[in-house]
Amino acid sequence: MANRLANETSPYLLQHKDNPVDWYPWGDEALSAARLLDKPILLSIGYSSCHWCHVMAHESFENESIASLMNSSFINIKVDREELPDVDSIYMTAVQAMTGSGGWPLTVFITPDGQPFFGGTYFPPEDRPNMAGFPRLLTAVADAYATKRTDLLENSQQVVDAIREQSTPKKNDGTVDDSLIFGAFTHLVGAADSENGGTQGAPKFPQPMVYELMLRYWKRTGSSQVLDIVNLTLEKMAHGGIYDQIGGGFARYSVDEVWLVPHFEKMLYDNAQLVSLYLHAYQATKKPLYRRIVEETLEYVTREMTHAAGGFYSASDADSEGVEGKFFVWTSEEIDAVLEPSDAELAKAYWGVSEEGNFEGSNILHLPMSQADFLSRTGQEPLELLADIERVRDLLYEARSKRIAPGIDDKILVSWNALMLKAFAEAGAVFENSEWIATAEKNARLLIDQLKDEEGRLLHTWKATSETEGDARILGYLDDHAYLIDALLTLYEATFDYSYVDEAQALANQMVERFWDKDWEVFYDTSMEHSKLLVRPRDVLDNALPSGGAIAALALQRLGVITGEADYAVKAEASMSALIPHMEQAPSAVTSWLAAVDFLRSNSQEVVLIGDASDPVMADMKRELRKSFAPNTVLAGSSGTSSDELASPLLKSRDQVNGKATAYVCENYACKLPVTSVAEMAELLS
C-alpha cells in the first residue's frame, strides 16, 4: 500500500511511495504528528539521481524490519533537496557542524520543533567496520531521546546557535574595488592544476563560475596565463569521460584527476552553466572545439531533456539496471558488433577503446589525443575525418539508444530552467540559431505563464500533467527570481522584445519587496511568506550553483542600466559590500560575487541598435557585437523608427539616421554620435 508520498509530484519522493516506511512529506501534518505523539523526527533528504540515495533506499527503506523500527519510534519525513533547498541548507549545515562533513543521502534526527540533535549521511543496513548499522543507530537514537533528552537538546542548541551565526552577515566598512578581483586571481591561479586543468587533486568538479571569472580577468588584463588555464581545463574536460562523447552533455564530476571516470549523473544546471562557459570561451578564442561542445550539449538537452511544453528536465540518473554507468560504457566486442571493421577500428583508436577497458572491464569513451594529433597520426584529411567520426558517432548513439536508459527526473525547476534558458538565448544570438532562441522563448513563456500563483508570485517547481499543462508548487526562492531576471534580460538582448524587460522588472520588484533584508542590506534565500525554519537561510557562497544573492547583484545592475532605476544598482552594491570578507579570504567560494564586482568596477558599455530586424546592416552590427567576449556590455534595441514611447532611457530619443540601421555606443548614458556602418561602430567599441 502506498504511503503519503503518493500524492507528491517530485520523482524522488514518488520513488519512495511504495516503501514500507510511513513517510510524510515536509509540512505541517508531519510536524503536528510529531508534537502530538511526542516522537522525534527522522528527516531523510536526497534527490532522484543520487547513487547512494538509491543504495540506502534499497538496503533500508525497502526493508520491512528496518521500516518497522522507523515507524515505531519516529515520524519519518522524506525531502527532495531540489524542491526544498531551504530545508536542505539548514540541516546540511547542522550535520556539517555536528560531524565535520555532509552529503546525500542526508539523515538527520530532529525534535518536533525542528531542532537537529544527531545526523549523518549514508548508513548501512548492518554494522560494518567503523560504521554503525542503521538499525542499531535507530535504536540508540530512540533510546537517547527517551532517556537523555535534556542533554541532547543542550547540545542541539549549540548547533542551532552555529547555524544562526553562519546565516548572519557581518558589517563591513570596506570598499568594493578592483583589488578584490586581483586578489582572487592570485588565489585561483595558485590552486590550478597545470597538467590536467581544473583545481589540483580529485575528485574534479567543472566549477564553471571559476572559469567565467578567469575569462573576465583575461578580458580586463589580457593575461595569457589565465587564458591558458581556462583553455587547458575546457579542452581536458571536452576530451575526457566526464563529457558524453556519443550523446553530448557533461556528467556531474570526475572521480579522478584526469577527467576520465565520471559520476555518470547529468544535471541540468551543470550543462546550462557549461554551455555558457564554452560559448564565452569560444568568443574569446574562436576554438572550433568549444563551438562543437555548445552545439552538441544543446542538442542533447533538446533531444532528451525537454518537455513538450518547453520546460527542461532536472537530471538523468547515474544508474541503469541498478548499475552505475552501464548505459554509457562499451566493451571492444560491443563496438565490433555495431560497426563495420574499418569503422570499429577508427572508433576504438579515436575514443581510446581497449580490450581490457578503463572502467571495470568496459571502456569510458574519451579522446586520448586531440583531433589535430589524431589527424597527424592517421594522415587523414580533416573534413574526411570529421565526417567519418560524425557518422560513426551516430551509429553508436543509435545502438546505445536501444539500451535501458537511466531514469529522468522530469520536474521543472525555475532556477535551473532559467540557467538553461539563458544558455539557449545567448548561444542562439551568437551563432544566429533561430531555433535555439525559439526554445528559449518557449521556456520563458512556460515559466512566466504557468509558474505563478493566483497572487502573481513566482513558484519553484512544475510537473507536467499533459503536453501543455502541469502542476506548479512551492513558493519561489531567491535563486528562482535572480536567475530568471538574469535570463530574461539575456533573452531581451537576443530578441529586442521589451516585454522580457518588463517581466524581469516585475520580478525584481517582488524580489526586493519579499527577500531584501533592510537591516543587513543583503537578500535572504527565502521570502517573508516561506515556512519558518530554525533560521531564515542566507547562503552567500557558490556551490554547484552560483549564489542567488550574487546573481541578484549582477542582474540588478544590468536591469538598472536598461531601465534607469538607480535603486537596483544601489542594492546590488550594498549586498556586494557585505561579501568583502569572503572575497578577500576565500575568493574561490564567491566567484559569482566577484563577477558582479567586475561589472560594477568596469567601464561597461551600453550599445543601442535601432533598425529593421531584416536589414542586413542591422544583422551585421549584431554579429560584430557578439563575436567577442564582452561580459559587461549591455545591449538594447528596437526595430521601430522612433522609440520615445519605450520605458528604457537607453532607447528614448534614439532614432534611425536617414532611415538607416543606427548604432549608439554609450557609457553610463553618455552616448557618442550615432553611426550607420559596422566599421564605424567597431571603431567606437574599441
For 356-387, the pLDDT digits (tens) are 999 999 999 999 998 888 888 887 888 888 89
Contact 262, 251 (CB under 8 A): yes
CB atoms within 10 A of CB 48: 24
Residue 331: pLDDT above 60? Answer: yes
Residue 416: pLDDT above 60? Answer: yes
Rounded Cα gap, residues 36 and 33, in angstroms: 5
Contact 534, 115 (CB under 8 A): yes
Rounded Cα gap, residues 381 and 609, in angstroms: 42
- pLDDT interval class at 297 (50, 70, 90): very high
- Look up cell 519522493; give the residue: 13
> Among residues 356, 447, 352, 464, which one has the least CA distance to residue 408?
464
pLDDT (tens digit per residue) in 607-619:
999 999 899 999 9
- pLDDT interval class at 645 (50, 70, 90): low
Rounded Cα gap, residues 394 and 229, in angstroms: 32
- Predicted confidence at residue 670, as pLDDT, reads 76
The share of the chain scoring above pLDDT 70, in percent, equals 99
Residue 641: pLDDT above 70? Answer: no
- Predicted confidence at residue 101, as pLDDT, reads 86
Residues pairing with 412 in the sheet: 462
Residues pairing with 456 in the sheet: none
Three-state helix/strand/coil letters over 172-236: CCCCCCCHHHHHHHHHHHHCECCCCCCECCCCECCCHHHHHHHHHHHHHHCCHHHHHHHHHHHHH
- pLDDT interval class at 70 (50, 70, 90): very high
- Predicted confidence at residue 669, as pLDDT, reads 67
- pLDDT interval class at 219 (50, 70, 90): very high
Rounded Cα gap, residues 610 and 665, in angstroms: 12
Contact 473, 412 (CB under 8 A): no
Rounded Cα gap, residues 504 and 502, in angstroms: 5
Residue 642: pLDDT above 70? Answer: no
Rounded Cα gap, residues 86 and 526, in angstroms: 7
Residue 681: pLDDT above 50? Answer: yes
- Predicted confidence at residue 167, as pLDDT, reads 75
**Selected residue with higher pLDDT from 590 and 101:** 590
Dihedral sign from CA coordinates of 62, 63, 64, 65:
negative
Grid cell locating 503: 517581466
pLDDT (tens digit per residue) in 650-674:
888 888 999 999 999 988 667 889 9
- Predicted confidence at residue 650, as pLDDT, reads 86
Residues pairing with 523 in the sheet: 516
pLDDT (tens digit per residue) in 447-457:
999 999 999 99
In this prediction, residues 420-425 reach a mean pLDDT of: 98
pLDDT (tens digit per residue) in 228-282:
999 999 999 999 999 999 999 999 999 999 999 999 999 999 999 999 999 999 9
| Helix, strand, coil % in the chain, rounded to nearest 5 | 50, 15, 35
In this prediction, residues 60-83 reach a mean pLDDT of: 97
pLDDT (tens digit per residue) in 491-529:
999 999 999 999 999 999 999 999 999 988 999 999 999
Instruction: Provide the greatest CA pair distance for the chain.
Output: 87
Rounded Cα gap, residues 556 and 594, in angstroms: 15
Contact 121, 112 (CB under 8 A): no
Residue 644: pLDDT above 50? Answer: no
> Among residues 291, 247, 294, which one has the least CA distance to residue 271?
294
Helix axes 224-239, 179-190, angle to 10 degrees: 50
**Selected residue with higher pLDDT from 439 and 169:** 439
Mean residue pLDDT of the chain comes to: 93
Contact 176, 600 (CB under 8 A): yes
Grid cell locating 293: 561542445
In this prediction, residues 573-602 reach a mean pLDDT of: 94
Contact 208, 332 (CB under 8 A): no
Rounded Cα gap, residues 186 and 196, in angstroms: 19
Grid cell locating 29: 501534518
- Predicted confidence at residue 131, as pLDDT, reads 87
pTM: 0.95
Residue 11: pLDDT above 80? Answer: yes
Rounded Cα gap, residues 270 and 253, in angstroms: 9
- Predicted confidence at residue 646, as pLDDT, reads 66
